[in-house]
Amino acid sequence: MSVDPGSDLLAPLTGSIAEVREAVRAAQRQGKRVGFVPTMGALHAGHASLIAAARRECDLVVVSIFVNPTQFAPHEDLAKYPRPLEADRRVCRQAGADLVFVPRVEDIYPAGFTTYVTVEGLSSILEGVARPTHFRGVTTVVLKLFQMVPADIAYFGQKDYQQQTIIRKMVADLNLPITIRVCPTIRETDGLAMSSRNVYLDSAQRQVSLALFRTLELARTELARGERNLPALRQRLRACLGSDPAVQPDYATLVDPDTLAELDTPGPRVVALVAARVGTTRLIDNAVIDLR
């Protein structure tokens, strides 16, 4: 597939691994820095902020759009996951991307594919309990994308805190020659973290989903006031998250920013993590709380 040059409204597009790899290497041969933003599409302002961050720091910015089947369990929403490619290309153009890479499933996972990458420990807790094969799919596809798009810096959002922690660990463990840049969560004006899954919420569900943000704000407020009994605070967070019967809590906890281990006493930084189901939609959010 040759590069579709795009337009004033749509970013250039390719589905060819060889073409995107050569575009990256050609830029690097000229001493240019390449930024990479891996996505599953259905782009919103959070994704746009990652692309804009790459644009500020890099000479060439590549965005991938690939709905990765290996990170969906059989009962999850792979088939109905939104795929608005034209709108996504428009977001990419407006945010400053130079090239959009949209590989085919058969190119990412050729016939007979049996090789997977797993980050032990970090992948089996928190989200890994509810979605036991999810992170294996994430790390496998991200490593493959790093091989196809051998950029200098890759950009991920803080909103998926456990995911970016696992990816940073994979990069360190495997000595991958790429820098991981983690960018702040982008929120709606009322605090709801932007997510491609928010489109599944009706107006009533959208309102009750603010329980996640309120729970994070409770954690931030109490730690700022001097609360240091984290087991007791954890119980209050769980009660806050589950205060509306329309919200089905999974976890509300306080963890170490690197190991994700639950904390009994705080260190210099604490991460509050929450997850809940609203209707059929699973939502996650977090807050990094600096106590220094």
Residues 274 and 174 in one domain: no
CATH number of the domain bearing residue 237: 3.30.1300.10
For 208, the domain range is 196-290
- pLDDT given at position 213: 98
Q: Is residue 47 annotated as part of the catalytic site, yes or no?
A: yes
- pLDDT given at position 59: 98
Residues 95 and 28 in one domain: yes
In a domain, 3, yes or no: no
How far, in Å, are 73, 78, 137, 139, 151 from residue 115 at the CA level? Answer: 18, 21, 11, 11, 23
- pLDDT given at position 52: 98
CATH number of the domain bearing residue 147: 3.40.50.620
Residues 159 and 223 in one domain: no
**Of the candidates 66, 120, 54, 81, the residue with the CA atom closest to the CA atom of residue 259:** 120
Residue range 86-110, pLDDT digits in tens: 999 999 999 999 999 999 999 999 9
Q: Determine the Cα–Cα distance for residues 267 and 254; give it in Å rounded to an integer.
A: 11
Q: What is the mean pLDDT of residues 29-47?
A: 97
Q: Name 181's bridge partners.
A: 155
Helices and strands (DSSP H and E) totals, the chain:
10, 9
Q: 271 and 288 in contact (C-beta within 8 Å)?
A: yes
Domain boundary among 124, 159, 183: 183
What is the maximum span of the chain, computed from C-alpha positions, in angstroms? 59
Q: What is the mean pLDDT of residues 35-64?
A: 98
Q: Determine the Cα–Cα distance for residues 285 and 287; give it in Å rounded to an integer.
A: 7
How many CA atoms, within 13 angstroms, populate the side-chain half-sphere of residue 135? 25
Residues 33 and 122 in one domain: yes
- pLDDT given at position 215: 98
Residues 81 and 224 in one domain: no
Neighbours of 87 (CB within 10 A): 14
Q: Which of 44, 47, 75, 134 is catalytic?
A: 47
The residue type of 71 is: Q
Question: Which residues neighbour 122 within 8 Å (Cβ) at sequence distance 6 or greater?
Answer: 128, 135, 162, 165, 166, 169, 259, 260
| Structure tokens that stand for 23 in this block | 């575009």
In a domain, 188, yes or no: no
Residues 200 and 177 in one domain: no
Residue range 136-191, pLDDT digits in tens: 999 999 999 999 999 999 999 999 999 999 999 999 999 999 999 999 999 999 99
Q: Which of 89-93, 133-137, 197-201, 223-227 has the lowest mean pLDDT?
A: 197-201
Residues 111 and 215 in one domain: no
In a domain, 262, yes or no: yes
Question: Which residues neighbour 7 within 8 Å (Cβ) at sequence distance 6 or greater?
Answer: none
Q: Determine the Cα–Cα distance for residues 118 and 167; give it in Å rounded to an integer.
A: 10
- pLDDT given at position 110: 97
Residues 166 and 75 in one domain: yes
Q: Determine the Cα–Cα distance for residues 62 and 27; give it in Å rounded to an integer.
A: 11
Domain boundary among 154, 183, 212: 183
- pLDDT given at position 178: 98
Residue range 57-70, pLDDT digits in tens: 999 999 999 999 99
Q: Determine the Cα–Cα distance for residues 287 and 254; give it in Å rounded to an integer.
A: 10
In a domain, 6, yes or no: no
Residue 77: pLDDT over 80: no
| Structure tokens that stand for 196 in this block | 């491609």
Percent of the chain with pLDDT over 70: 100
In a domain, 151, yes or no: yes
Residues 155 and 226 in one domain: no
Q: 291 and 270 in contact (C-beta within 8 Å)?
A: yes
Confidence of residue 1 (pLDDT cuts 50, 70, 90): low
Residue range 3-13, pLDDT digits in tens: 888 888 999 99
Residue 75: pLDDT over 80: no
Domain total in the chain: 2
Residues 99 and 149 in one domain: yes
In a domain, 61, yes or no: yes
Residues 153 and 228 in one domain: no
Residues 241 and 141 in one domain: no
In a domain, 159, yes or no: yes
The residue type of 63 is: V
